[in-house]
Amino acid sequence: ILNVEQSPQSLHVQEGDSTNFTCSFPSSNFYALHWYRWETAKSPEALFVMTLNGDEKKKGRISATLNTKEGYSYLYIKGSQPEDSATYLCAFTGGGADGLTFGKGTHLIIQP
Amino acid sequence: DAGVTQSPTHLIKTRGQQVTLRCSPISGHKSVSWYQQVLGQGPQFIFQYYEKEERGRGNFPDRFSARQFPNYSSELNVNALLLGDSALYLCASTDSTGEGQPQHFGDGTRLSIL
């Protein structure tokens, strides 16, 4: 059974502050690590798919890093805005036919 | 272009009944995956279909089955419903089988079992 852990479980951040959270995953049989943003009453939205060790991706104020050797990824949000409030999910895949294995998510609340 | 669409949005059933959930992928996408999300947990993989063939199956009992049609839409069937089947069921599509591709999710079907 694959174990994908996300921390913290929830996070309250003041508007304008920067924040980051962690996803840890198995370091063996790695194929890709996905990040999704899931706003209430909407569908999960893909942020990044990362495959290479040391990879760093950026989308506006959001960026992510990947360390496949030690099995972790960080998601960073710079200058948090109220619209960043959402649950952020990471998901691991070994590339087989087992689909994505998701963590429980980090619930981010941006306080004005 | 329309995104992934799922129907119905909400559904209430009683224990022992059967249910069918439907999903239409993004136009041109040939792969459909189904996930179950219970409160407080991340989505859990149920099935993946590609070109009308089952490509992968998660750790779910045989009460769960699915199929994909020639137009790449998909149905998820659950028989002999249990209280524990109450969950949000998400459908996701991609244009290939590669897990290196981002999944495009629908809004889900909220299933409640009484």
List, for residues A44-73, the tens digit of each pLDDT value.
999 999 999 999 999 999 999 999 999 999
Q: Give the whole-angstrom CA distance, residue A23 versus residue A72.
A: 5
Mean of all residue pLDDT scores within chain A = 95
Interval B54-79 mean pLDDT: 96
pLDDT category, B104, cuts 50, 70, 90? very high
- Percent of chain B at pLDDT > 70 equals 97
Per-residue confidence (pLDDT) for residue A95, from 0 to 100: 80
Interface of A with B (CB under 8 A): 4, 31-32, 34, 36, 42-46, 49, 51, 89, 91, 93, 95-105
Strands B10-13 and B109-113: parallel
pLDDT over 70 (residue A33): yes
Per-residue confidence (pLDDT) for residue A2, from 0 to 100: 76
pLDDT category, B100, cuts 50, 70, 90? confident
pLDDT category, A96, cuts 50, 70, 90? confident
pLDDT over 80 (residue B58): yes
- Chain B partners of A100 at a C-beta cutoff of 8 Å? 33, 35, 43, 45, 99, 103
pLDDT category, A97, cuts 50, 70, 90? confident
List the single residue in B with minimal CA-CA distance to A95: B99
Q: Give the whole-angstrom CA distance, residue B29 versus residue B25.
A: 6
Task: Give how far the C-alpha of residue B47 lies from the chain's centroid of Cα atoms, to the nearest Å.
Answer: 7
Are the CB atoms for B110 and B10 separated by under 8 Å? yes
**In a 3-state reduction of DSSP, which class is residue A18?**
coil
Per-residue confidence (pLDDT) for residue A84, from 0 to 100: 97
Token pair listed for B58: 């998660």
Q: Give the whole-angstrom CA distance, residue B70 versus residue A104.
A: 34
Q: Give the whole-angstrom CA distance, residue B2 versus residue B4.
A: 7
pLDDT category, B1, cuts 50, 70, 90? low
Give the dihedral of Cα atoms B88, B93, B98, B102; nearest 10 deg.
Answer: -80
A46 CA: distance to closest CA in chain B (Å): 6
